[in-house]
Amino acid sequence: MNLETQMRELAASARAASRTLATATGCQRDTVLTVLAGLLEETRGEIFAANAKDLDAARAAGLDEARIDRLRITDKGVDSMAAACRHVAGLSDPVGEVEGMIKRPNGLLVGRMRIPLGVIAIIYESRPNVTVDAAILCLKAGNSVILRGGSEAYHSNQILGGLLRRALDTAGLPEGCVQMVPTTDRAAVKHLLSLDEYIDVVIPRGGEGLIRAVVKDATMPVLKHYKGVCHIYVHADADQDQALAIIENAKVQRPGVCNALECLLVHREAAQSFLPRLAERLAPQGVTFRACPRSLALLGPSAQPAAADDYGREFLALTLAVKVVDTQREAEEHIAAHGSGHSEAILTRTHDRAMRFLRTVDASCVLINASTRFNDGGELGLGAEIGISTSKIHSYGPMGVKELTSLKFIVFGEGQVRA
């Protein structure tokens, strides 16, 4: 069987399974997750053995230690995956929820029912825990899922996929509900992305290069974010002590994640007093600054002149672009020009100013007097997330279980016909 045919059959199997899964009870879907939690804990030795093959291959291929660390599955990692299974199983079931039932003048009752998206393909890199995290969220929302992890995690992903199939069998659901792409050939992804008759949506998780490649080839909708270029704007009336703590958290806590701060905008009336304090606080922690001409001298020896492309850049490191602005409007225009639609924040004591920022700034999460690091499914009360979407259709921001569903209209009549 050639690769194109193999991918078509895999996708067709997922489509057939999705119809069964859509009518499964919430109890059945939760059973898959709780059984999987137990299997993960019981078979951790086998998981570690498979993971060791990937780690050995990664070292032989010369992968850097950071990538090897992302690939590694530890006891803590297994415990975390099992806990995630139980946590998601305990979330409320969105499938079948009816919203906004109204009675029309002709007597029809019209509402909207929440339904699964259908078949979701997820293309991802490195971390094998994504195999479990993505699958359990899709299953909880009633979707079949096709998983294609990175070649560096092949053995780890395959054993985790096998555990998912065992859990599905225990709950009486078809194996096609979770499909693992059984090859590392990159051509398999291109074939999958052409199968819009079977796959409803694709979600890429990884670097900007991977996401752009998926968008280029996909024939179905893509839920994506290319990068997280997050800004904080410090207005002249901001509480400076509070602002220092927020900026430190947003930049230093985990600089390599998509909701970390990448560019700081400071009102000119605050710059003289605030920026030296900022440098004094962050420079000892290893932060360096790419500064505009007005901020350069205020930030001391840890600053260097900003290049044009430092604004709009995702550093994913302890590097912070800084610019002094004359007005809030200038800050908002800078964000419009250089932001990525991910997370943007304003620090101010003025309610009207904050509300204007909320209305004006276009991002999946806009914050007032809080760190950009809060744009996360768990922190925002979703329980868990499959990723953060900067696409406005079909979802904007962190994607939890509910965001992996859609709504259809339902109509109850008593014999009405249209005039």
Average pLDDT (90-116) is: 96
Residue that the structure tokens 């850049």 belong to: 313
For the segment 186-195, the average pLDDT, to the nearest whole number, is 96
Q: How far apart are CA 379 and CA 398, in angstroms?
A: 10
What average pLDDT does range 123-141 have in this prediction? Answer: 93
Per-residue pLDDT, 193:
97
CB atoms inside a 10 Å sphere around CB 285 = 11
**Could you tell me where in the chain the CATH 3.40.309.10 domains are found?**
230-376
The mean per-residue pLDDT over the stretch 99-108 comes to 95
Q: What are the C-alpha distances in Å from 310 to residues 296, 301, 318, 319, 322? A: 14, 18, 13, 10, 9
Contact 282, 248 (CB under 8 A): yes
pLDDT digits (tens, 9 = 90+) for 135-148: 999 999 999 999 99
Report residue 126's pLDDT band, with 50, 70 and 90 as the boundaries: confident
Helix axes 154-170, 44-60, angle to 10 degrees: 160
**What is the value of pTM for the model shown?**
0.89
Average pLDDT (96-121) is 96
Mean pLDDT is lowest, of 124-128, 185-189, 353-357, for: 124-128
39-59: average pLDDT? 97
pLDDT single digits (tens) 258-287:
999 999 999 999 999 999 999 999 999 999
Beta strand 230-234 pairing with 319-325: unpaired
- CATH class of the domain defined by 3-225+395-412: alpha beta
- DSSP-derived secondary structure for 164-225: HHHHHHHTT--GGGEEE-----THHHHHHTT-TTT--EEEEES-HHHHHHHHHH-SS-B---
Nearest 10 degrees: CA dihedral of 304, 310, 315, 318?
20
What is the dihedral angle through the alpha carbons of 232, 366, 318, 131, rounded to the nearest 10 degrees?
Answer: 180
Place 134 in a pLDDT band, splitting at 50, 70 and 90.
very high
pLDDT at 385: 84
What's the confidence (pLDDT) of residue 383?
78
Q: For residue 184, which amino acid is it? A: T
CATH 3.40.605.10 residue ranges for the chain:
3-225+395-412
pLDDT of residue 342: 96
| Four-way CATH pick for 230-376: 3.40.50.920, 3.40.718.10, 1.10.287.1080, 3.40.309.10 | 3.40.309.10
